């Protein structure tokens, strides 16, 4: 059974806010929260001044993948990867240590681990790398592989048997987000770091070498669609963490649906991670504003 | 704080607005803590229609100043799917928390509504029915609930099919909501509830094609932005009818609920605030209880 959230939101204290290139990493002390499964998310809202930004927003909380769950100085900490793209994310990016955030979570259906003996290929794009970090932490723990940081352009011989991550970014500032993971291979749109091109170019190479791998992907819709199509063609299992604008995060509002082969699916309760085989196509985020 | 509502004895006056809380999804998300801190004194289902509905194409949400515009489109499994899949699970969960089930239904014709009410009458787990009349008449295109004559005729025609309490959920998108409420009462409604969402629209943001943002074209506005409208409409309705009124619209706190009670509501529903805080209903109910019984203010007389 997946980890469940307490129905009561928790007012959690910000213990850190670090810049990571174009992103920020928000660290919240969560001493009493349930341990999340990789791929689960939380609904976040600043306790103070949630509202009154651009267009008198935000009003509803915002959904964020849990990027990391680890021991901190005062118990467990949850980390979230933020990018300022709207009034909600802007307010969260302004938070400083000591301020409080309402957290409802962990929510949703996370990643299921690969079958024994199959290698996990992590494919991320932009801020979508967040759930892959906590997934990689778990895979590395379970495989017993020592953590080996390879920096920007990982060499193949250093890659762990599980947990290799292929990450795509717009430019160098965004590519700094890759520091969240280990054993990374990077592609950038402008060629500033790593492969000049798409992360799916890297994925094609990996799948050529290891057609038995299982793909775990999260990122912008066009990337996920390319991953879905490639995996469908090669009959590689793929688990996609979808993004969709949400008002509630627990199945109440029916606002976050995406079309599947058998009707609409609520990303918040049936996802965010779903089997790529259920989708005919990954549509652009059907969502509320950020 | 216990309240008598059309013969149902409720532990407090706070319920949910239809379509703002999915009990079965909440059970998946929250498990035991949902039961331990159940937010509502009665539970109102999403709107059930005779045939299944997929709902509107996304996008379905738009955040607006202090509110939310939604265009969900009443997705549901249809009456047969509701009875087979949802009703057993809903009623067993609600029995655990001692909250009655109010099933919300919508039909496009009196015959459809009559059929829905007959089936609800036969299900002992359903304590009362709320009739959503924000449905366009298939012939006139006008919402059934927006036209007092039509509303009275429909309620009168279907009333005999249901011995249980019948609540008519009024639409605020009408010239005179109090006249509509009086029409529902004249047709035989046991209670009215209001306000439903206000018809609203949003255009796609810059960078998108210049078209309506919501997949359904238009949507309904809810949240604190509509609270003063709700207060005015509930006050107008409560001073016109003698049946109980369920007031709702932008309620976030006990104070907001008390305002609606003060102008004549018997129950108050929490809707959009549950999206922000799934325990909102419970917080409002506890806040009302903490404030203690209020000396009856005969505002209704003065309005």
Tell me the nearest-neighbour CA distance from A37 into chain B, angstroms: 13
List, for residues A155-189, the tens digit of each pLDDT value: 343 344 556 899 999 999 999 999 999 999 999 99
Is B7 exposed, middle or buried (CB count within 10 Å of its CB: 0-12, 13-18, 19+)? exposed
CB contact under 8 Å between A254 and B75, yes or no, is yes
Taking the C-alpha atoms of residue B283 and residue B271, their distance in angstroms, rounded to an integer, is 13
- Contact (CB, 8 A) for A51 and A57: yes
pLDDT exceeds 50 at position A150: no
Tell me the nearest-neighbour CA distance from A287 into chain B, angstroms: 6
- Contact (CB, 8 A) for B30 and A7: yes
Instruction: State the virtual CA torsion across A5, A10, A14, A15 in degrees, nearest 10.
Output: -70
pLDDT exceeds 60 at position B49: yes
Chain B residues touching chain A at CB-CB below 8 Å? 19-22, 24-26, 28-34, 37, 39, 54-55, 57-68, 70, 72, 75, 205, 215, 223-224, 272, 274-279
User: Which pLDDT does position A1 carry in this prediction?
Assistant: 81
pLDDT exceeds 70 at position B87: yes
Residue from B230, B145, B140 nearest B180 by CA: B145
Tell me the average pLDDT across A92-100: 98
Tell me the nearest-neighbour CA distance from B201 into chain A, angstroms: 14
- In terms of CA atoms, which chain B residue is nearest residue A34? B30
- Contact (CB, 8 A) for B293 and B12: no
User: Which pLDDT does position A290 carry in this prediction?
Assistant: 67
Q: Which phi and psi angles does B145 have, rounded to 5°?
A: -80, -5
pLDDT exceeds 80 at position B293: no
User: Which pLDDT does position A151 carry in this prediction?
Assistant: 38
DSSP chain B: --EEETTEEESSSEEEPTTS--HHHHHHHHTHHHHHT---SSEEEEEE-SS-B--PPSP-EEEETTEEEE-----B-HHHHIIIIIHHHHHHHHHHHT--EEEEE--SSHHHHHHHHHHHHH-TTEEEEEEE--SB-TTT-SBGGGSHHHHHHHHHHHHTT--S-EEEE--SSSS-HHHHHHHHHHHT-SEEEE--PEEE--BPPTTS-SSBSSTTSSEEEESGGGHHHHHHHHHHHHHH-SS-EEEESS--SHHHHHHHHHTT-SEEEE-THHHH-TTHHHHHHHHHHHH-PPPPPTHHHH-
Q: Which residues of B are catalytic?
A: 135
User: Which pLDDT does position A142 carry in this prediction?
Assistant: 76
User: Which pLDDT does position A153 carry in this prediction?
Assistant: 40
Whether the upstream peptide bond of residue A206 has omega within 30° of 0, thus cis, is no
User: Which pLDDT does position A145 carry in this prediction?
Assistant: 47
Tell me the average pLDDT across B9-16: 98
Beta-carbon contacts of B231 under 8 Å, excluding residues fewer than 6 positions away, are B249, B259, B260, B263
Looking at chain A, how many residues does it have? 290
How far apart, in Å, do the first and last CA atoms of chain A sit? Answer: 30
Tell me the average pLDDT across A11-40: 98
User: Which pLDDT does position A284 carry in this prediction?
Assistant: 77
Cross-chain CB nearest to B60 (options A59, A252, A255):
A255
User: Which pLDDT does position A161 carry in this prediction?
Assistant: 55
Q: Which tokens belong to B226?
A: 């509509």
pLDDT exceeds 80 at position B294: no
Q: Which of A11, A33, A46, A252 to mutate to test the interface with B (most CBs of B within 10 A)?
A: A252
Output A143-151 pairs: Cβ under 8 A, ≥24 positions apart: A147/A182, A148/A182, A148/A183, A149/A182, A150/A182, A150/A183, A150/A184
List, for residues B205-253, the tens digit of each pLDDT value: 877 777 899 999 999 999 999 999 999 999 999 999 999 999 999 999 9
């Amino acid at each position: 059974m997946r980890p469940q959230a307490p129905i009561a939101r928790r007012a959690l204290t910000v213990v850190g806010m670090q810049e990571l290139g174009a992103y920020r990493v928000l660290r919240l002390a969560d001493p009493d929260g349930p341990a999340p499964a990789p791929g689960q998310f939380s609904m976040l809202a600043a306790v103070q001044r949630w509202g009154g930004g651009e267009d008198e927003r935000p009003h509803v909380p915002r959904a964020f993948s849990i990027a990391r769950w680890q021991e901190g100085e005062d118990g467990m900490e949850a980390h979230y990867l933020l990018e300022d793209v709207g009034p909600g994310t802007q307010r969260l990016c302004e938070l400083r240590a000591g301020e409080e955030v309402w957290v409802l979570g962990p929510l949703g259906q996370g990643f299921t681990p690969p079958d024994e003996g199959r290698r996990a290929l992590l494919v991320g794009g932009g801020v979508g790398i967040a759930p892959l970090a906590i997934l990689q932490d778990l895979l590395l723990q379970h495989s017993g592989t020592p953590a080996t940081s390879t920096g920007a352009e990982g060499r193949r011989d250093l890659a762990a048997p599980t947990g290799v991550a292929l990450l795509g970014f717009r430019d160098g500032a965004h590519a700094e987000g890759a520091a969240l993971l280990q054993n990374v291979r990077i592609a950038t749109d402008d060629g500033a770091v790593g492969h000049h091109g798409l992360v799916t170019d890297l994925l094609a190479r990996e799948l050529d070498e290891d057609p038995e791998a299982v793909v775990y992907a999260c990122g912008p819709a066009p990337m996920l669609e390319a991953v879905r199509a490639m995996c469908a063609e090669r009959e590689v299992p793929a688990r996609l963490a979808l993004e969709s604008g949400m008002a509630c995060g627990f199945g109440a509002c029916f606002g976050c649906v995406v079309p599947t082969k058998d009707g609409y699916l609520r990303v918040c309760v049936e996802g965010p991670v779903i089997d790529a085989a259920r989708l005919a196509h990954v549509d652009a985020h059907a969502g509320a504003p950020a | 704080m216990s309240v008598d509502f059309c013969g149902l004895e409720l532990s407090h006056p706070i319920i949910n607005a239809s379509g703002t809380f999915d009990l079965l999804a909440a059970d998946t998300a929250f498990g035991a803590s949902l039961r331990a801190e159940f937010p509502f004194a009665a539970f109102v289902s999403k709107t059930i229609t005779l045939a299944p509905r997929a709902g509107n194409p996304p996008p379905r949400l738009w955040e607006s100043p202090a509110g939310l515009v939604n265009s969900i489109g009443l997705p549901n499994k249809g009456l047969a799917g509701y009875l087979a899949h949802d009703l057993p699970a809903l009623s067993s969960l609600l029995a655990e928390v001692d909250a009655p089930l109010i099933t919300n239904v919508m039909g496009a014709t009196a015959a459809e509504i009559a059929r829905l009410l007959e089936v609800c009458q036969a299900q002992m787990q359903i304590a009362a029915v709320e009739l959503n009349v924000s449905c366009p008449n298939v012939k006139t295109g006008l919402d059934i609930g927006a036209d007092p004559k039509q509303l009275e005729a429909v309620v009168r025609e279907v009333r005999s099919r249901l011995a249980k309490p019948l609540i008519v959920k009024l639409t605020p998108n009408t010239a005179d909501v109090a006249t509509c409420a009086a029409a529902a009462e004249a047709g035989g409604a046991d209670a009215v509830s209001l306000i439903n969402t206000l018809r609203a629209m949003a255009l796609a943001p810059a960078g998108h094609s210049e078209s309506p943002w919501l997949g359904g074209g238009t949507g309904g506005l809810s949240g604190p932005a509509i609270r003063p409208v709700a207060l005015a409409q509930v006050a107008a309705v409560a001073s016109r009818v003698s049946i109980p009124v369920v007031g709702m619209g932008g309620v976030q706190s006990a104070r907001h609920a008390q305002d609606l009670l003060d102008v004549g509501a018997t129950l108050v529903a929490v809707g959009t605030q549950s999206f922000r805080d799934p325990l909102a209903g419970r917080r409002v109910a506890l806040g009302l209880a903490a404030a203690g019984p209020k000396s009856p203010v005969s505002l209704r007389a003065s309005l």
